[in-house]
A and B are shown apart, each in its own frame.
Chain A
Amino acid sequence: MNERLVQLEVLRYNPETDTEPHFQRYEVTCKEEWVVLDALNAVKESIDPTLNYRWSCHMAVCGSCGMMVNGEPKLSCHAFLRDYPGVIRVEPLANFPIERDLVTVADDFIDKLKRVKPYLIPAKPKAIEEGEYKQTPAQLMKYRQFSMCINCMLCYAACPEYALQPKFIGPAAITLAHRYNLDSRDGGRDERQEVVATNEGVWECSFVGACSEVCPKAVDPAGALQQVKVASTLDWFKEHLLPGGSK
């Protein structure tokens, strides 16, 4: 197995001693098939135990290890060293405040996620004796792609709208709202629309499409947001142009 001396330039920030972040360079011997997260783990184990970063599964499922790798939002467990020949610059996810080193403050995203109610809200309560909610494979396929979101926030780090207007509900939260709106078992769309179909919601999106380009799970948030725009526009026409004006 080939080894390589990898140079990492890591953005460090210690809230107790630093007024602003600074880069620190590490040199660490890595195996060719390693990912950036392995290199960070090697640094932490053998060079600098004070380095802070989040990770858990090491298999692109938990969504914890999102970072900027050479300026691109990446899951560090999914960023192979062989794809980065020179010095690798590692920074905390863009557009989020830095808590410490590579750890960001995710509170804003978590709050927005709660606001869109990303869970099934049945149209009518159903007693357990009535059995399960059934769904055909076609009904499942309608939303399945959007259910693959792992809340890694890479889409927020790539989104210039979120960078410029932090009130924007953002790609992942609106995509998850759309995922539940499309679910045949759900009846909560009207509640979600109060948050989603607003200026700070989907109408802040100008379809840059960066979210879909960086999504590690091929969820295509940009697609979801455009579909929400189409559906919200149809709502408006139904409300204002149809006789009776009801949705």
Chain B
Amino acid sequence: MNGIHDMGGLQDMGPVRIEKDEPVFHAPWEGRVYAMYNAIDGGWPAGSGRYERELIPPAEYLRMSYYERWLHSLSELLVKNGLVTRAELASGTAAGGNDKGRKVLHAAQVRATIARGFSSRRDVPAVAQFHVGERVRARNLNPTGHTRLPRYVRGRAGTIASDHGVFVFNDSLVQGHGESPQHVYSVRFAARELWGSDAPAHDSVYVDLWDEHLEPA
């Protein structure tokens, strides 16, 4: 989706302000939202919260703080997946139980769960469509759903810098079309290819792209 979240290359977004001695969370509620999002076993595909945030209308997206977007996306996912109702979110009172039998993360499991992680690398055979050193072009795709192909590289030529191996294809997974595991590459795009002849000659941007994002150049 060509949404506001796809920000690479936008201009006049203001200065980058670095807060000195920044706390991890600026208010307790941020930590609670963060924790609920990571604790819940919602049954939705990994990355669904991210897609929900991409669906926030642009003006609201820009106005909201980072954890407001998380709060919004978590609430939407919970409602859409039938785990809670909007009435409950408004009242703050549960009107049912764990009816779908979702798994509950307990405190004693937290450390091990974090340490284990949740890799989207897949140990399945998938033929690499491209090889290191090969010239490729990012396809000019404009899907209306979730995609990891940023606008600023579409139609641009680059070089396969490395092959990360086989991973779940998030564009497919988040749309409910399955994992579709395929190779992910680090693709080097010269700054001049992306931004024109005024860009420094030797600078570049490396973007991680899947087989389906690429075509031979």
To the question of whether A and B form a pair in one complex, the answer is: no
* Chain B residues within CB distance 8 Å of chain A: none
* Chain A residues within CB distance 8 Å of chain B: none
